[in-house]
Chain A
Amino acid sequence: MFAGLSFALAPGEVLVLRGPNGSGKSSLLRLLAGFSAPAAGRLAWAGARVADDLAAHRARLHYVGHSDAVKSLLTVRENLAFAAALGGAGAAGLERALAGFDLQALSDLPARYLSAGQKRRLALARLLLGSRPLWLLDEPGVGLDAANRMRLEQEVAAHRAAGGLAVLATHGDVAVENALQLELAP
């Protein structure tokens, strides 16, 4: 898929992955999330190999992939509350997460009534549950309207300001200032 790739992120840095469809952006993100293992090479967090303690690695990241992982039979709030309990975040951040992507008005609606963009917002709201240092976002802007794209950009900026890292795959719909760029060839 790709070879000869090397990069390092310091706290507060964001890496934007670019490249045509099929160039391996999603595969790289899944690899960074620890879902798959690199055929060769080394993936490390603060000097320690990620493969040595995958569970700890997964617990320090938020991964938002192509699918929104939204249960259509649960309400918006139930979906988020489950993610919070699962991530060990506690219910305190729930309102803040709902507000972050303007979901309060929808919070008691079963998720099957949400539009694609609203589901995306629900998936992104999980980022705000409990602070985890690494965000891995696979085309997070898909389906979002301008106002919510702006909210996403603000949240990413706030995450950086707090010393967090992020890796985004995007086709340019989400703007991040002073981001490192990685262009993947097909």
Chain B
Amino acid sequence: MIRAFCALIRRDLRLGLRRGGDSLQPLLFFVLALSLFPLGVGPAPEVLARIGVGVIWVLALLAVMLSLDRLYQADAEDGSLELLVQGVLPLELLALGKCVAHWLTSGLVLVLVSPLLALLMQLPGKAEGVLALALLLGTPTLTLVGSIGAALLIGARRGSVLLALLVLPLYIPVLIFGVSAVEGEVMGLGGRPQLLILGAMLLAALALAPLAAAAALRLALE
């Protein structure tokens, strides 16, 4: 079963790599949209630093959501979904494996480029670490919660718009605590409590989201 789980992750990563540009699009969107803000609101450091954290998080939400659209859709279209459910993996682990692969190609990349983004938005130096940490805890939650929506919308036309309506409200807690963790650190209050809450949300999502996504996949097969 572990072998099958690893094989699934490896396959999704390999598909992501071979698709090349496609899988990097959400990241490019993220960086490009972010680089518009200094142009739009002016390069004054105090303004950018004030809105910077919020902007980074909102764009991270959107970038993850954009890439979630195809999470199950591609497999449903070419018949792979039926193949996947014939394997030894329970649907819950299947959903978890897809999420792990998705996070490695989206959330993790955002975490890695986050110091650069902090620089771009003129955030103070001490914010970089806590921003990366908050993204590290927050983006897997985004992927997991979003995967429920992606599974529910298999086969739906204009799925991406519906996905936004369905998933963005659920992203609000991550957004709030993610932003306040960084702001707390910047103001010298410390971001630890918010980071702990982000961690708790991640654990809850890790436990519950695969169950919900599996139920949605079961519906999609009918």
Contacts and interface: CB of A to CB of B under 8 A. Distances in A.
A55 B90 contact: yes
Contacts of B79: 65-69
Nearest to B220: A35
Interface stretch (A10-18, A80-88, A146-154, A171-179): A80-88
Contact of A86 (B7, B15, B222): B7
Contacts of B14: 73-74, 78
Interface string A58-80: 11011101111111011000100
A36 interface: yes
A85 B11 CA distance: 11
B86 A58 contact: yes
A86 B1 contact: no
A15 to B, nearest CB: 19
A165 B90 CA distance: 24
B28 interface: no
A63 B87 CA distance: 11
Contacts of B222: 35-37
B11 A71 contact: yes
Contacts of A126: 83
Interface residues of B, number: 26
A63 B79 CA distance: 11
Contacts of A74: 11, 14-15, 18
Nearest to B89: A86
Contacts of B18: 73-74
Interface in B62-118: 77-80, 82-90
B19 interface: yes
B8 interface: yes
Q: Chain A contact residues: over half helix, strand or loop, or mixed? A: loop
A170 B122 CA distance: 66
Contacts of A58: 85-86
A73 B80 contact: no
Nearest to B79: A67
Contacts of B3: 85, 88
A81 B222 CA distance: 27
Nearest to B90: A55
A123 to B, nearest CB: 8
Interface in A73-110: 73-74, 78, 81-83, 85-88
A40 to B, nearest CB: 16
B119 interface: no
A69 B74 CA distance: 10
Contact of B78 (A55, A62, A71, A82): A71
Contacts of B90: 55
Nearest to A67: B79
Given A68-B78, A71-B15, A88 B88 contact: yes
A63 B83 CA distance: 8
B4 interface: yes
Nearest to A60: B86
Contacts of B87: 59, 86-88
Given A61-B86, A63-B86, A86-B89, A70 B78 contact: yes
13 contacts: A58-B85, A67-B77, A67-B78, A67-B79, A67-B82, A69-B82, A74-B15, A78-B11, A85-B3, A86-B7, A86-B83, A86-B84, A86-B87
7 smallest CB-CB distances across A and B, nearest first, come from A67-B79, A85-B7, A86-B87, A69-B79, A88-B88, A73-B18, A69-B83
Given A33-B86, A85-B4, 8 more contacts: A35-B82, A36-B221, A62-B86, A63-B86, A69-B80, A74-B14, A74-B15, A86-B89
